Structure 1
């Protein structure tokens, strides 16, 4: 346990350093390599902590605490990878602090009623697709918030602060829909593979999770169709992305919170 605490402490400290480095990069143009280096340390330390917390005797143990930590870790990993190719640094002001906070939450939130699942490859595939879908859609939600702030800031003449270093509005909107499109594709695959493990929605306590996930999928489908057919952008894009993401959070974490911490059950 002491080793896991140390790993989480290193991760949280590194993500704090990455957040500060992002701010300095946006504020006065300091080199971005500091962000990359600090985030890499945080990602590595958090991954090691997750392995120690979630893998037990060949079984995958995912309670609410480890799920929160894993959810934030993979969002930070995707951001780190994307940042190697294009300018998405502003998202680090939200994602990296979130990763550090959730790493700590992984230790503090009890996993008393965690479910254990065998590591059969079909289940691993479903979990991997779900993790990647949540990560991409987390980035899209943060991007939607940044885009909304950028819209408001552009009403001022001239823009100030970090907004002067952000890409043009059209580029930011294009990135938003790329993230949504990629996340939607993986979410579709995750839902399809997850259906293979459903025998009884109510007996497996999956009814709320499944229904909310399908509604979220529908939100993203309509949003992408509206973008393709009608050129939706601006407030419609932001609100649609955030609404779909909130439904996804309720589908997984809302259901898991009620089941594990209140009812003492699991999937």
Structure 2
């Protein structure tokens, strides 16, 4: 009952926070970002309580539990990003999706139990979660950057454009996030090499290949930015392509194994 109540509180808080953050985008009276971000903080804390209670305080990496966990991490990182550089529109993308994934895990997904892990694997998974979270926010920011550039090109100086930081600041934040995510993804691959014993027995071979491919995409983007000043549509496309590959690496196999082949555990 407590877990269900915490989940309901988190879902409601995520929705209210995203609705308040969306007001300026709809051309309505601006809401001070402190209030929706404070509500989102309550949502993240309640979400953490659900994850700790429902999954026995351990890392549960089954499909729906992992989606909820990653969504919670992304929402928490969204709050951190807004402390450094306010981009309230990120919450409009992240928080409703997090609410949906939490609702599925809390109320619709089958019950699962965390599998035992050594500390080395927990370290590997934790770094991977941070890498995925940071690059997910970069992908959301890339979408906002694309909308911002399109609005400027067509001289559509509406509420959306006014609610976002200047284009150069958005782009700078995007590449800082990609650089941080690239470092974390590099550490993910390194800890995987050091700590994972048998890639084929653990259904990790294709996950590793896809992760390396995503790492190459983000690395090429960073080199292109530094050497040739890549920006705009090319940066957006490469960011979204790298994120799509990473999404397949993290959740593609889980979807097939657990929801198609029904192999859980």
Aligned 8 A contact 2:17 2:37 in 1:
yes
Give the RMSD, CA atoms, in angstroms.
Answer: 1.7
Give, in whole Å, the separation in 1 of the partners of 2:75 and 2:141.
13
Tell me if 1:133 matches 2:131: yes
Equivalent residue of 1:61, what SS? coil
**Alpha-carbon distance between aligned partners in 2 of 1:135 and 1:141, rounded to the nearest angstrom:** 10
Aligned pair in 2 of structure 1 residues 42, 226: CA closer, same or farther (>3 Å)? Answer: same
Does the Cα contact within 8 Å between 1:53 and 1:66 map onto a contact in 2? no
Greater alpha carbon shift after TM alignment, 187-196 vs 132-141: 187-196
**Hey, what's the Cα distance between the residues in 1 that align with 2:264 and 2:179?**
31
TM-superposed CA distance for 1:105, in Å, is 1.9
Runs of at least 4 residues off by over 3 Å: 264-267
Corresponding residue SS for 1:257: helix
TM-score (normalised: structure 2): 0.93
**Residue 233 of structure 1: aligned partner:** 231
Deviating more after overlay: 130-139 vs 120-129 = 120-129
List alignment gaps of at least 5 residues for structure 2. none
> Hey, what does 1:168 align to over in structure 2?
166
Equivalent residue number for residue 104 of structure 1: 103
Deviations 1:150-196 (A, max 9, x none): 11111233511221121111111111101111011001101110122
Does the residue aligned with 1:157 lie in a helix, a strand or coil?
coil
Evaluate the alpha carbon distance shift between residue 153 and residue 48 of structure 1 in structure 2; reply closer, same or farther with a 3 A threshold. Answer: same
8 Å CA contact 1:137, 1:180 repeated in 2 = yes
Measure, in 2, the Cα distance between the counterparts of 1:53 and 1:198: 27
TM-fit CA distance, 1:197:
3.0
Residue number in structure 1 paired with 2:43 = 42
Does structure 2 conserve the Cα–Cα contact (< 8 Å) formed by 1:63 and 1:111? no
Instruction: Answer yes or no: is 1:14 the counterpart of 2:9.
Output: no
Q: Is it true that 1:208 corresponds to 2:206 in the alignment?
A: yes
Distance 1:92 1:254, change over 3 A: same
Deviation at 1:62, TM superposition (A): 2.3
Name the CA distance, whole Å, in 2 between partners of 1:90 and 1:60: 30
**Is residue 24–residue 160 contact of structure 2 (8 Å, CA) maintained in 1?**
no
1:191 is aligned, of 189, 192, 198, to 189
> Helix, strand or coil: the match of 2:115?
strand
Structure 1 residues 7-32: Cα deviation after superposition (integer angstroms, max 9, x where no partner): 11111100001101112355432211
Shift, 1:248, TM fit: 0.6
Q: How many angstroms apart in 1 are the aligned matches of 2:259 and 2:163? A: 43
- Alignment check: 8 A CA contact 1:10 1:45 kept: yes
Is the 1:64–1:109 Cα contact (8 Å) retained in structure 2?
A: no
Distance 1:266 1:216, change over 3 A: farther
**Cα separation, 2, equivalents of 1:266 and 1:225:** 40
Q: Is contact 1:64–1:257 with CA below 8 Å preserved after alignment?
A: yes
TM-score, normalization by structure 1: 0.92
User: Which residue does the alignment assign to 2:180?
Assistant: 182
